[in-house]
A and B are shown apart, each in its own frame.
Chain A
Amino acid sequence: MLAHSNPEPSSKTTDPLEVHDLTVAYTKRPVLYGIDLVAPPGSIVGVVGPNGAGKSTLIKAIMGLLPAASGWIKVFGKPFRQAVTRVGYVPQRESVDWDFPVNAMDVVLMGRYGRLGPMKRPTKADKEIAMACLEKVKMLPYAKRQISNLSGGQQQRVFLARALAQESDLYLMDEPFVGVDAATEAAIIDILRELQQQGKTLLVVHHDLTTAPDYFDRILLLNMRVVAYGRTEDVFTFENLQNAYGGRLSILSEVALSRARKKAEGDTPDSIHQ
């Protein structure tokens, strides 16, 4: 899925995540331009920006769920496809049908699927790991509940448990704090800190500016392009926030839009099948 039009980086890198000059242009909505990002090991990076800034798109593009128009992405020094088992993913909660006939345990077990490989079934060990992950998010008593019978916060915790079951080194989380109660938010942030202490790297899309500086030690301020990226105390300034939230760069938006339109008329980039 990833376009490797640029030459490979000359220096070998072992950073968990390195994004270089990434551009993602969608048919309907042009989103990301020239993104550079390096997440050092053991960091919690918050991705912050206004609606439509391309926060979710960035995460999806990193995993190859959306095609990159240009630029490259390395996960632990390799293309994403070769590092799949080292990446855990928490999608947005609204991205699935919660009436689906599975219980909380079934969902968490899905976290093991990537490691199992094709045609293999979860073993007893996998089930034990899934139980431990449910326990970690304090959802073990609800393991057998059909997922529509869980509250929003509980559903989010199940998603987190599924990512924990992936036992990854890099976690990509899309708005894990949306629609959760204060207790769940605190529980989730505790788990994120614990992961960080274990040396894992986290990239978390977040929309709440008031909590962002407390939660993350690095912040990526995003609005179609990188407004600022670095350590929280350097990035989280009035001027940077003004730049990120004070309106789009209008010429960039227009050019992006017309380019996407032309592209849509010419050819259709493949997208995930719905």
Chain B
Amino acid sequence: MNSANGDSRGEPRGILGSERSHAYAMLRRRKPSAHMDLPIRSKLAFRTIGSVLALLAFSSIAHAAKIGDIADTSWSDQALEFFALEHPAIRAAALGTLLIGFCCGALGSFLVVRKLALLGDTLSHAVLPGVALGFLWNASKDPWAIFVGATGAGVMGVALVGWIQHTTRLKEDSAMGMVLAGFYGLGVSLTTMIQNMVMGNKSGLDKLFFGQAAALSSGDLWLLGIISSISIALILLFYKEFLVISFDIGFAKAVGMPVQALHYLLMALLTFAVVVSLQAVGVVLVSALLITPAAAAYLLTDRMHWVLVLAAGFGMISGILGAFISYLSNNLPTGPLIVLGSTTIFTLALIFGPKHGLLTKALRRRRQRQRIALENTLKSVFHLSESSGFTRKEFSIAALANERNQDLASTEKEVRALVAAQLARHVDSENGAEWSGQARFQLKKAGWLRACEIVRNHRLWELYLTNAAQYQSDHVHDDAEEIEHLIGEDIVQRIEERLKSPIQDPHGKLIPRRDQVTA
């Protein structure tokens, strides 16, 4: 939570600073957060509201202009212009998308961990008729009227889902699907009607479908600022309550929490977040901004507060990227660009995530395969040595190939791997001889210990299966071939104790003792 806090506090100050200097000042100031000590969160939450509101007073001078109109020549000039945030419209778009990303990312985290992702989609589509009615209220795009209308419609949609679920035998997914489509259909009809009316052709309602950050008005920004501040404050104040109702709602109730009230509070915040995001992201894709940053964060961490922090951060990055690319590309709708940004972040998290990433998993599997191959080679060397009555120490690659029942080339590769892993050395290479079938190698001490350990694991497991689990002795080998690589020393010792330090395996071979493998 700390850095979410820091961001929210630092960011407004940063952009205020940019009034005077330029963008890099903002980047510098947004960083320091980790060292901030936050003993009293509630106090801080209210300070946050204050600073966001102060900032809004500043930037509400912004006019709803098309940012792309201030088009510059080269890409880098445009980037500089955008991030310098000197033009009020750019500042409005940047601030707006940052706040939206923050809000949707953080609140969306609760949807993702509660498996309510579809609810975000339902909510965002359900608000559309309310938007149209809000517009009709005084025939203008008054953000407050639209806010009231949209919130009302959103709440109605979600309530309807609950009602269908409780009174019919239909389940949540069908209820959501129907409400989503029904409300959206009504909303599209209403907005099309408005646009066909005289005052409607310049209504800008069409921008609400896919979003246009450049069209954020100062009223929109005020709303956004207020809703973001309230969301941050409430998440900070009720973090533990939201955590426990998300994880274990029965327990939350049992310890006396007002579960329903908390649930509706969270739903209300989500509705607000969706409604204030409409102008910049659009009805169709708002839900993606609720889900995708949180989903990416969920892949990267195992702690809820980090999910919140990361999701808020990813949301902000997606938001500002979307606004920037929209600016570069002459006002492409911002919604799809923001969503593309968050989807890219998700894809990166999916592939490169340090814990659950696909690449990480593949590398881990590969390392394990390599280790098992190495251990299998060592085991064969042990067998060679064993069949000589442990008199011989040096072996040729050809002898090992024979023992392992495979061709010379792959055996040579295996021995090279042993040498590379510092488990064996190539005896002849000291005389400058080439690798060949007759090339000889010897296990180093570490290699020999590891070989003994694997054989010990294998034979103890076989014995355990036959003696303790009543397996037939001819059934145990294949299982032991796998298990030998997987069991740790603690389990091996427990088996040994259970079997009272046995000497021979079920096939009559000697089991290496513990002191032989730990020497």
Partners in one complex: yes
A273 neighbours in B (Cβ, 8 Å) = 162, 249, 259-260, 263
Which residue from chain A places its CB closest to the CB of B248 in the assembled complex? A96
Q: Which residues of B contact A106 (CB under 8 A)?
A: 243, 303-304
Of B50-58, B234-242, B394-402, B502-510, the one contacting chain A is B234-242
Contact of B247 among A100, A122, A268 (CB under 8 A): A100
The answer to whether B250 has its CB under 8 Å from any CB of chain A is yes
Q: A106-B303, A116-B240, A118-B241 are in contact. Are A96 and B253 (CB under 8 A)?
A: no
Cβ-defined contact, A103 with B302, below 8 A: yes
Are A91 and B248 also in contact (CB < 8 A) when A114-B255, A119-B42, A268-B166 are? Answer: yes
A87 contacts across to B, CB distance below 8 A? 254
Given A268-B166, A273-B263, CB of A100 within 8 Å of CB of B113: yes
Q: Is A166 positioned at the interface, with any CB of B under 8 Å from its CB? A: yes
- List residues 368-412 of chain B with CB under 8 A from any CB of chain A: none
**B246 surroundings in chain A (CB, below 8 A):** 100
Residues of A within 8 A of B301 (CB): 101
Partner of B243, one of A63, A64, A102: A102
Report yes or no: A121 in contact with B113, Cβ–Cβ below 8 A: no
Contact in complex: B304, A113 (CB < 8 Å): no
Flag A57-95 by CB within 8 Å of B: 1 or 0 each: 000100111000000000000000100110101010001
Contact B251 A89 (CB under 8 A): yes
Q: Indicate which residue in B42, B244, B306 contacts A110 across the interface (CB closer than 8 Å).
A: B244
Contact assessment for A113 and B240 in the assembled complex, using a CB-CB cutoff below 8 Å: yes
Contact assessment for A65 and B166 in the assembled complex, using a CB-CB cutoff below 8 Å: no
A63, A162, A166, A268, most chain B CB atoms within 10 A = A63
Using known A-B contacts A95-B250, A116-B240, A119-B42, determine if residue A272 contacts B304 with beta carbons closer than 8 Å.
no
Q: Which of B113, B167, B249, B253 contacts A101 (CB 8 A)?
A: B113
- Is A214's beta carbon under 8 Å from chain B? no
List which A259-274 residues lie within 8 A (CB) of chain B.
268, 272-274
Which B residues touch A110, using CB under 8 A? Answer: 240, 243-244, 247-248, 251, 255
DSSP majority for the B interface?
Answer: helix
Let me know if A140 is at the binding interface, CB within 8 A. Answer: no
The yes or no answer to B41 lying at the interface (CB within 8 A) is: yes
Instruction: Decide if A268 touches B249 in the complex (CB within 8 Å).
Output: no
Residue A107 at the B interface, CB < 8 A? yes
Contacting pair A107 B166 (CB below 8 A)? no
Contact B166 A102 (CB under 8 A): no
- Give the residues from 284 to 317 in chain B that come closer than 8 angstroms, CB to CB, to chain A: 298, 301-304, 306-307
Q: Which of A89-135 contact B (CB under 8 A)?
A: 89, 91, 95-97, 100-103, 106-107, 110, 113-114, 116, 118-119, 121-122
Count A interface residues, CB 8 Å: 34
Which residues of B have CB within 8 Å of A81? 256
- Whether A119 lies near B237 (C-beta < 8 A) is yes
B252 contacts across to A, CB distance below 8 A: 113
Which residues in A have their C-beta under 8 angstroms from that of B260? 273
Asked whether, in the complex, the Cβ of B251 is within 8 Å of the Cβ of A91, the reply is yes
Q: How close is B29's CB to chain A, nearest CB, in angstroms?
A: 27
Please tell me if B358 contacts chain A, counting CB pairs below 8 Å: no
B83 → chain A, closest Cβ, in Å? 33
- Tell me if B257 is interfacial: C-beta within 8 Å of chain A: yes
Does residue A146 face the partner (Cβ distance < 8 Å to B)? yes
Q: In this complex, which of B167, B249, B257, B302 has the most chain A Cβ atoms within 10 angstroms of its Cβ?
A: B302
B302 contacts across to A, CB distance below 8 A: 101-103, 146
Q: Report Cα–Cα, A119/B263, bound state, in Å.
A: 15
B303 partner residues in chain A, CB cutoff 8 A: 101-103, 106
* Seed contacts A95-B248, A103-B302, A122-B240; 17 additional CB < 8 Å A-B pairs: A60-B250, A84-B255, A89-B251, A97-B115, A100-B304, A102-B302, A107-B247, A110-B243, A110-B255, A113-B252, A113-B255, A119-B42, A162-B251, A272-B250, A272-B259, A273-B249, A273-B260
Chain B positions within 8 Å of A, measured between CB atoms, are: 41-42, 113, 115, 162, 166-167, 172, 237-241, 243-244, 246-257, 259-260, 263, 298, 301-304, 306-307
Question: Which residues of A are at the interface with B, using a C-beta cutoff of 8 A?
Answer: 60, 63-65, 81, 84-85, 87, 89, 91, 95-97, 100-103, 106-107, 110, 113-114, 116, 118-119, 121-122, 146, 162, 166, 268, 272-274
Can you pick out 21 interface pairs between chain A and chain B where the beta carbons lie within 8 Å of each other? A60-B250, A63-B253, A81-B256, A91-B254, A95-B250, A101-B298, A101-B301, A101-B303, A101-B304, A101-B306, A102-B304, A106-B303, A110-B247, A113-B244, A114-B255, A119-B42, A121-B41, A121-B240, A146-B302, A273-B162, A273-B249
